Amino acid sequence: MFPNARIPYGTWGSSYFPAWQTSALAEVNIGQFAGESMGRILGLRKVPKSELEYLIIGSTIPWHWKFWNAPLVASCMGHRIPGYHMEQACATGLQAALLAGAEVDSGSNDVVGVLTFDRTSDSPVGVFPERRAHERTQAIADVWDNFGFDPATGNAMITAAGITARKYKCERAETDEVAFLRYEQYFDAKKSGFLERVMVPLNVLNVQGRPLGRIDDDYGVRMVTMGGLRAMRELDTCVTGGGQTHASDGMSTLLVTSKEKAKELSPRPEIDIQFVAKTEARTHPSLMPEAPAFAVQKLLDKTGLTMADMAVVKNHNPFAVNDVIFSKLLDYDWRKLNNTGCPMVWGHPQGPTLTRVLIEALEEAVDLGGGHVLVFGCAAGDVGIASVFKVS
Amino acid sequence: MSKVMRESTLQTLGLGNVIDIFENGRTPADTAGLVDQVFGNAGNRGSLVISGANGIVGAGKTMQLGSRLEPFGVRVVGLDFPSAPDGIGQQYPGLVQAFGREGADRIMGNITRMSYDGVNLPAELKNLQPRFLLEAIPEILEIKRAHYKLFRDAFPGIEIRSVTSGFPSSELGVGIAHPAFPHEINKVWEIVEPEPSAVTQLLWSMGLIPLPVGDNWSFILDVLFCGVTLAGLRYHDSSNMPFWKIDKFTRKLLGPNPFRAHDAIGAKGADFLTWSCLHHLSETYGELFRPTAVLEERKETGQTWYPPNHFRPLVDWRLDAEADQEFRTWILGPMLQMTSLMLHEKRGHLSHLNAIGELCAQFRRGILAVIRDLGPDSVIATVEDYHRLYPDAKTGKSWYPAAFDAIETPDWQQLYVNAEHDGTVGVITINRETYNWDVDHELNRAIDWLKAEGIDRVIVTGDFHISTQMIGADTSDFFAALENFEEGHRITSGWPATARRLNDEFAVSVGFVNGKRCLGGMLELLIHCHYLVSVDDAQLGWPEVTLPVVPGMEACHWPFRKANPDHWPKLQDLLLNGRPTRASDAVGWLVDYAGPLDQAIQTAWKVAGGADHGLQQRAVEGGALKDVPTEVRDLPLPDSPGMETARGAIIECMKQTCALPLAEALEVQAKRSADFLASTTCREGQVGAEYTRTMSV
């Protein structure tokens, strides 16, 4: 897939994802923040922003001046280039990278920026004509309304997790074990310095130009104990506060370029990162946690690859249930997933979630000396998305 | 026959040395005579025409020159296209502020506004007898040349000067008088002409600062200003750092914030001018000056460099040590290389080259003072580092490392302070309005030179040219002292030690105030002279308490030792209120003589030369002073808590230092002043605020 497109190693970066309402990101126009941050990250990666020809942005939560989409965000970066906005709920972060691959592969542009972001904190309140309410018009907080209500099924996300857990007869003990391991993986990665290679601390200013806050950690994430997880109240089958993700804010960025440009822009031009394949699947109503496994199975069928071929496997897992079900369906030990952390632990800012998953996965693959990288996840609407990359 | 440490800057205007002023008992040129020369005698007086008078430069200069020429009956004609927006009318509020409504109306009433189509001059213009054209029309060579022809055909013999910032006189065919922004108030003009002319001397006599410079593509100011802008642009290209942040780091490093300045001047016009200067420089000197793609774009769009208010920056940028070093190379490298070119081309008196950056381009210290501190080896290494980052800068004829070979000569070593003598009396001139370490070191060298020349009579004064007033200490030199007592102590013991040399090492020393004010550290310096002579309307005082700081050059005890106890309350009032006094009101207790300029000059010369002057020297009491009041009554309420604290500290310093013999007082005042500089009160005051604004980037 996209034989002419590459992801130049080491030109990516992400903000940390502070939990909603825990940081200065609750105060900012996230589109502006993302644009300025991308300029900063590219600067730190020694990529002049003048190299960028096109920008694909992805976000799912409305933000002020969103109408002006990618060109405005590019202006905030200080580089007036065209581009567009896309969104696909929690698949946004991966889909945006794939669209950039298509853009480069088509020959339209040689250097395309992928910039995904969202602010769940103080999400905008929309006033909609609303037939659910007797008032006929309701003010609705975007993030919470969508978490709590899939209009196609009438169910909440968490309900879907419970329904799917029951379908696969998941055990609470196992999802607690998954959750515990995920926290251990995250904190081990943090301790090893791995996160510092992909995450960029960012200092946020107020309107007077004075420091408003420093985004230098995934605020709100604390190590858990197995005892603590077990003691948590079950919110639905196999779903507890410890075994599900939380809303957070942040941005994430990477570049997709031609082969030649990848060599030129990467600090390690000998590393080659290619797109291999991508699939999506949609399952039955309110069974979202199984959808990623179907997408991955489809991917394996299409490519002829097996899970044994994967050097790194990493997913967007809003619920520990997702990982358990994936293991059952693909016969793949969940202990081998998500070695450096995952959204269940570090949060769920929607748009950038899978972009961060992707760049962490690629960085890990480089550490391992290359190989196939499988990235997948679920998205609103009982959708699963999966993609394979090759690092060599 | 006088001898000079280095060439006087006045000499570049054809006005001799400063010592000549004292010897002759008057300034070397008078405005009335020069007005006659340039505009004709009173009965046949012609007018000044400013073309492009509604533009930023034209309107500003219409005000600056109009207000000065109106008393001499010189009519000012503001000429512009009929469609030009009214720039002159916009100046009226500022004029009222400066001259009062009546004065403003009088000045505006002396301005005749005329429209023309660019091809034909209005017939009525002839009636006003244009004698001098100051051209301020757009920077397009052919249009300018056609404009001069138009005027020369209509008014043969008319004096013409262009305000161009970029075109050399040799290309235009007229002299240059390039003024600095902001045009209403900035007194500096870069002058290009074969010999100092009556026009230039007239500018000087009206209190403006004409600085002769070489006839090159783009003059010194624009090489510095456009150069530092270009340096910032190249760093931007390399790092992605936004312009607002580059400005902050540049201000911390050197002083200017070039991108903000473009926006303040008006990005559309300023961007074009900067591009134009750099474009022509690059055509002549090569890639060092080549405008970047961003500037090429903005000269067309006029887009501001700072984001709009609703997009005030959100993400801050910091530099670690390595990145800071790289930033420094990107900014300093080209500035040092460009300066090498200007030195190689001998574009001007080194004091001019240095001062233009300070007076017109926001440099905290002139570029030559910066270079002198760095030393040639470091300068050359920085430029070579820059060439590694931007190899194109090596191409072309723009790098002259040999230009720094003369760094040990007096021309380089005395950028701010000069000394002259006639074999008997010496004159030390200071051309910087604020006192800093550069001035201190140079003053010591000037004293050493006079001593070595066997001179023990001296006048210390401004330079009658670049420095039109003496404001006090350069508070940016206090920045390090806010954090570090030792740094403060180095200042508060070092600077007064220099000042004491004026008292201790000369048989006669005379401080001479020739400008409109002498305040703070500069006044402390001059009161160390045996006599203080001043023009009568000069404002003298110690505003330190308002900053707040505690005076660090002995104002808390030295003037008390020279004054009768009856006058001590007046000194206390000066120190504790911070409000200045008129020199003529301070005779006998702070000043020894105050009078009109020529008489003051003559008096100073008599005193210094030992002629009969009739003044009684006020001796410095070397012992402890008794009964200096420690309770100061009837003080008005302080303006701020900081001022109240400073008052207490000044009173305490006064009490302690006056109670000691002179020999012991210096160390006590040094410690108390330095203590205050390192205090929370000082950090929360103006100095601290400036420090935070400049250095906490």
pLDDT in tens, B412-467: 999 999 999 999 999 999 999 999 999 999 999 999 999 999 999 999 999 999 99
Which residues 495-534 of B have a C-beta within 8 angstroms of A? none
Which residues 217-256 of B have a C-beta within 8 angstroms of A? 236-243
pLDDT given at position A134: 78
pLDDT at residue B120 is higher than 90: yes
pLDDT given at position A123: 78
Option in B241, B243, B318 nearest A203 (CB): B318
pLDDT at residue B633 is higher than 80: no
Option in A37, A42, A48 nearest B315 (CB): A37
pLDDT given at position A283: 97
3.40.50.970, 3.40.50.2000, 3.40.35.10, 3.40.47.10: CATH of A157-197+272-391: 3.40.47.10
Query: Exposed/middle/buried for A260, CB within 10 Å: 0-12, 13-18, 19+?
Result: exposed
Q: End-to-end CA distance of chain B, in Å?
A: 53
The predicted model gives B571-592 an average pLDDT of: 96
Whether the model clears a pTM of 0.90, i.e. scores above it, the answer is yes
pLDDT at residue B184 is higher than 90: no
- Banded pLDDT at A142 (limits 50, 70, 90): confident
Q: Which helix (H) or strand (E) holds A278?
A: strand A273-282
| Contact indicator for B529, B460 with CB cutoff of 8 Å | yes
Helices B367-374/B376-389 angle, 10° precision: 100
Domain boundaries, chain A: 5-123+198-217+244-265, 157-197+272-391
User: Does residue B320 belong to the interface with chain A, where contact is any CB pair within 8 Å?
Assistant: no
Q: Do B315 and A50 count as a contact with CB atoms less than 8 A apart?
A: no
Q: Do A78 and B317 count as a contact with CB atoms less than 8 A apart?
A: no
pLDDT given at position B16: 95
For residue A211, the chain B residues in CB contact (below 8 A) are: 316
Which of B598, B616, B550 is CA-nearest to residue B578? B550
Q: Phi, psi at residue B180, to the nearest 5°?
A: -100, 150
pLDDT at residue B316 is higher than 80: yes
A201–chain B nearest CA distance, Å: 10
User: Does residue B322 belong to the interface with chain A, where contact is any CB pair within 8 Å?
Assistant: no
For B322, nearest residue in chain A (alpha carbons)? A44
A74–chain B nearest CA distance, Å: 12
The predicted model gives B557-566 an average pLDDT of: 96
Q: With left for phi above 0 and alpha for psi between -120 and 50, is residue A2 left, alpha or beta?
A: left
For B234, nearest residue in chain A (alpha carbons)? A48
User: Does residue B120 belong to the interface with chain A, where contact is any CB pair within 8 Å?
Assistant: no
Digit-coded pLDDT (tens) for A357-387: 999 999 999 999 999 999 999 999 999 999 9
Digit-coded pLDDT (tens) for B186-231: 999 999 999 999 999 999 999 999 999 999 999 999 999 999 999 9
Option in B240, B293, B318 nearest A39 (CB): B240
**For chain A, what percent of residues have pLDDT higher than 70?**
100
pLDDT at residue B1 is higher than 80: no
B697–chain A nearest CA distance, Å: 10
pLDDT at residue A139 is higher than 80: no
Task: Spell out the domains of chain B, with CATH numbers in brackets.
Answer: 46-212 (3.40.50.720), 220-411 (1.10.1040.50), 416-695 (3.90.226.10)
Q: What is the overall mean pLDDT for chain A?
A: 95
Q: Do A43 and B240 count as a contact with CB atoms less than 8 A apart?
A: yes
Digit-coded pLDDT (tens) for B601-615: 999 999 999 999 999
Residue in A50, A196, A200, A265 to test binding to B, most B beta-carbons within 10 Å: A50
pLDDT given at position A126: 78
For residue A28, the chain B residues in CB contact (below 8 A) are: 314
Same fold, A5-123+198-217+244-265 and A157-197+272-391: yes
- Banded pLDDT at A65 (limits 50, 70, 90): very high
Residue-wise DSSP of B469-486: -B-EE-GGGGHHHHH-HH
The predicted model gives B84-90 an average pLDDT of: 94
For residue B238, the chain A residues in CB contact (below 8 A) are: 48
pLDDT at residue A53 is higher than 80: yes
Q: Phi, psi at residue A265, to the nearest 5°?
A: -95, -25
- Banded pLDDT at A144 (limits 50, 70, 90): confident
Q: What is the overall mean pLDDT for chain B?
A: 96
ipTM of the complex as predicted? 0.92
pLDDT given at position A138: 76
For B298, nearest residue in chain A (alpha carbons)? A80
pLDDT at residue B659 is higher than 90: yes
Option in B236, B239, B315 nearest A204 (CB): B315
Q: Do A43 and B241 count as a contact with CB atoms less than 8 A apart?
A: yes
pLDDT at residue A130 is higher than 80: no
For residue A77, the chain B residues in CB contact (below 8 A) are: 240
Q: How far apart are CA B10 and CA B16, in angstroms?
A: 6
User: Does residue B692 belong to the interface with chain A, where contact is any CB pair within 8 Å?
Assistant: no
Strands annotated E in B5-53: 47-51
Which of B494, B488, B499, B428 is CA-nearest to residue B459? B428
For B231-271, give the secondary structure using H, E and C. HHHHHHHHHCCCHHHHHHHHHHHCCCCHHHHHHHHCHHHHH
Q: How far apart are CA B597 and CA B587, in angstroms?
A: 15
Token pair in block for residue B669: 């005042």
| Contact indicator for A150, A157 with CB cutoff of 8 Å | yes
The predicted model gives B643-662 an average pLDDT of: 95
For A15, nearest residue in chain B (alpha carbons)? B315
Q: Which of B42-46, B328-332, B686-690 comes out lowest in average pLDDT?
A: B42-46
Option in B237, B315, B317 nearest A33 (CB): B315
For residue B239, the chain A residues in CB contact (below 8 A) are: 43
B293–chain A nearest CA distance, Å: 10
Residue-wise DSSP of B122-178: -GGGGGG-EEEEEE---S-HHHHHHHHHHHHHHSTT-EEEE--SSS-HHHHTSEEEE
C-alpha triplet B422, B428, B431: angle, nearest 5°: 130
Which residues 256-315 of B have a C-beta within 8 angstroms of A? 293, 307, 311-315
User: Does residue B696 belong to the interface with chain A, where contact is any CB pair within 8 Å?
Assistant: no
Number of A–B residue contacts, CB under 8 Å? 53
| Contact indicator for B367, B224 with CB cutoff of 8 Å | yes
Option in A47, A48, A205 nearest B314 (CB): A205
Q: Do B240 and A78 count as a contact with CB atoms less than 8 A apart?
A: yes
- Tell me A19's DSSP state: B
Digit-coded pLDDT (tens) for B24-36: 999 999 999 999 9
Q: How far apart are CA B68 and CA B70, in angstroms?
A: 6
Number of residues that make up chain B: 697
Q: How far apart are CA A205 and CA A184, in angstroms?
A: 33
pLDDT at residue A132 is higher than 80: no
| Contact indicator for A94, A100 with CB cutoff of 8 Å | no
A275–chain B nearest CA distance, Å: 28
Q: Do A205 and B315 count as a contact with CB atoms less than 8 A apart?
A: yes
pLDDT given at position A81: 97
For residue B240, the chain A residues in CB contact (below 8 A) are: 39-40, 42-43, 47-49, 77-78
pLDDT at residue B64 is higher than 80: yes
Option in A49, A205, A211 nearest B240 (CB): A49
Option in B239, B243, B314 nearest A43 (CB): B239
pLDDT given at position B362: 94
- What's the CATH fold of domain A5-123+198-217+244-265? Peroxisomal Thiolase; Chain A, domain 1 (3.40.47)
User: Higher confidence at residue B632 or residue B445?
Assistant: B445
pLDDT given at position A119: 95
Digit-coded pLDDT (tens) for B360-412: 999 999 999 999 999 999 999 999 999 999 999 999 889 999 999 999 999 99
For residue A64, the chain B residues in CB contact (below 8 A) are: none
Option in A47, A48, A202 nearest B315 (CB): A202
